[in-house]
Amino acid sequence: MAKEKDLITPYNYTPESPSPCRSTEKEGQSDGQAPISSTDKQMTSDVGTGPAYSKPRRLATEEIPGIVGDFQRAARNAVEAGFDGVEIHGSHGYLLEQFMNDGTNDRDDEYGGGLDNRCRFAVEVIDAVFCEVGARRVGVTLSPFADFVECADADPVALADYMVRQLNMHEAYVTSRFWEETECILYMRCVC
């Protein structure tokens, strides 16, 4: 909520409301480029009936610090604009989850392979945002048990445990968006 204006940010309530999400389709990108990802594998529709998503462009290793900086600047801009805090979206098949899950992360650099490497990008983003606006202003959304648009992990319990342990080093609020993970949600809240 933006305090100074005492308003709630619109979320697609009307056709005139701005979308809070950037399109993952090439046609929806402001620069016309392919969406970025941990991989260059094209994913199919989440329901299996629609068209496949645009083929993403694998981020080069040297590009990743710039993307981390983009998250950091976005958090600073939100707080400077009067928002109470930010939520880092690490679920639903979006960029951070694409790096964390072994189903989509096929990298062979320091951001791929084992669990600690696959989670490195997410941890770097979270750390940068915490440093920029303070951990008490940051929420993190995770969905380690979801299988969303082919973005799943072979060992979601290990993934959840690893990320919760990383977040325990901070005072972040952790949430999960899938009802079937009640046990995981309680675990995260008890440990944090």
Cβ within 8 Å of residue 74, ≥6 positions away:
86
In a domain, residue 70? The reply is yes
**Mean pLDDT computed over 60-67:** 97
CATH number for the domain that contains residue 121: 3.20.20.70
At residue 165, the pLDDT reads: 87
Residue 25 has pLDDT above 60, yes or no: no
What Rg, from alpha-carbon coordinates, does the chain have? 17
In a domain, residue 128? The reply is yes
In a domain, residue 12? The reply is no
In a domain, residue 3? The reply is no
Question: For 82, left (φ over 0), alpha (ψ -120 to 50), or beta?
Answer: left
In a domain, residue 43? The reply is no
Give the closest residue to 95 by CA, choosing from 126, 135, 127.
126
**Mean pLDDT computed over 89-108:** 92
3-state secondary structure of 121: helix
Catalytic residue annotation? 94
In a domain, residue 7? The reply is no
Residue 67 has pLDDT above 90, yes or no: yes
Residue whose pair of structure tokens reads 């669990």 in the numeric block: 115
CB atoms inside a 10 Å sphere around CB 180 = 9
In a domain, residue 42? The reply is no
In a domain, residue 71? The reply is yes
Which residues face 83 on adjacent strands? 2
Range of the domain at 92: 57-191
pLDDT tens, position by position, 34-59: 889 999 888 766 555 556 678 889 99
pTM, 2 dp = 0.78
- Residues 93 and 109: their CA atoms lie apart, in Å, by 21
Domain count, the chain: 1
Residue 87 vs residues 4, 25, 57, 176, 189: alpha-carbon distances, Å:
20, 22, 25, 12, 16
